[in-house]
Amino acid sequence: MPSDAESSRCVRRVARWAPRWLVFFSKSHAESRSRVPLTSAFPRPVGADSHETPIRHQSPRVSTVHIVWDWNGTLLDDLTQVVDAVNVTLGEIGEPSITIREYGAHYQRPVRRFYESLLGRVVPDDEWRLIDDVFHVAYRDLLPKMRLAPDAIEALDGVRRAGHTQSLLSMLWHDDLVTMVERFDIGSFMNRVEGLRGERGARKQVFLEGHLQALGDSVDVGGVLMIGDALDDVEAAVAVGTRCVLYDRGTFPQERIRATGVATASTLVGALEVGGAI
């Protein structure tokens, strides 16, 4: 959702109690396994010819203790449906449909900038409200067609068997997110599920900071690994001091992700391995 970029301070230790409006799911802890240092989860230098902004190196390596998962395009395989919903939206404003490749080439946050890039013009406020409303209605209509990523359950179970905790943070509307988590019966893997509630404007880093605060003082951000599929995931992770691995089968084309120098993986289990979580 649209917003101006804003700075976010690093979180060293996080507060004990969660806001009442967040949804919790309990999970049991499995026996802890040995952990691999997160050397490969550090962003690599980016060449001068890259068209993406290089990502700064993150904090010193420590063992992973908690995984924060992204939802759309990461645990949830919904790229086809997202593009279908975008095309419904484009039709509503008299614009031609696009392909998945075109979507990936233009995609960026805030989402309003994506449409401006795609259309090659400024999107005025009234048109943006229409675009936003039509997209979310179309997206909800397509929910029954969406499936989890091929190895999502294997990855979630692997985290649990490794003795780590995990949570879900999404920019999808909270009620829609909870409905889908219940539909796929994955709530038992998570100790927190959090979606967007009434704050369309902020960048993901703002929500990640609050998410980490709500997890309690048992989680040190230096031991958190974020797994997502978009550049705003790694930007949020860098802003608050966590690590990040990007899943390259989601929203962004592989060439855009790899140009940033961020660690990547082509499976969710692979992302956990790259991040040293399993």
Tell me the pLDDT tens digit for each residue of 161-219.
Answer: 999 999 999 999 999 999 999 999 999 999 999 999 876 656 789 999 999 999 988 78
pLDDT of residue 63: 73
* 174 in the same domain as 69: yes
DSSP letters for the chain: --------PPPSB--SS--TTSB----PPPPP------GGGSPPP--TT-SSPPPPP-SPP----EEEE-TBTTTEE-HHHHHHHHHHHHHHTT-----HHHHHHH--SSHHHHHHHHHTS---HHHHHHHHHHHHHHHHHTGGG-EE-TTHHHHHHHHHHTT-EEEEEEEEEHHHHHHHHHHHT-GGG-S-EEEE-S--SS-HHHHHHHHHHHT-TT-BGGGEEEEESSHHHHHHHHHHT-EEEEETTSSS-HHHHHHTT--EESSHHHHHHHTT--
Any idea what the CATH number is for the domain that residue 230 is in?
Answer: 3.40.50.1000
* 87 in the same domain as 69: no
pLDDT of residue 11: 34
Give residue 165's domain range.
39-77+147-274
* 211 in the same domain as 112: no
pLDDT of residue 1: 43
pLDDT of residue 218: 77
Residues of the chain with pLDDT under 70: 1-62, 199-202
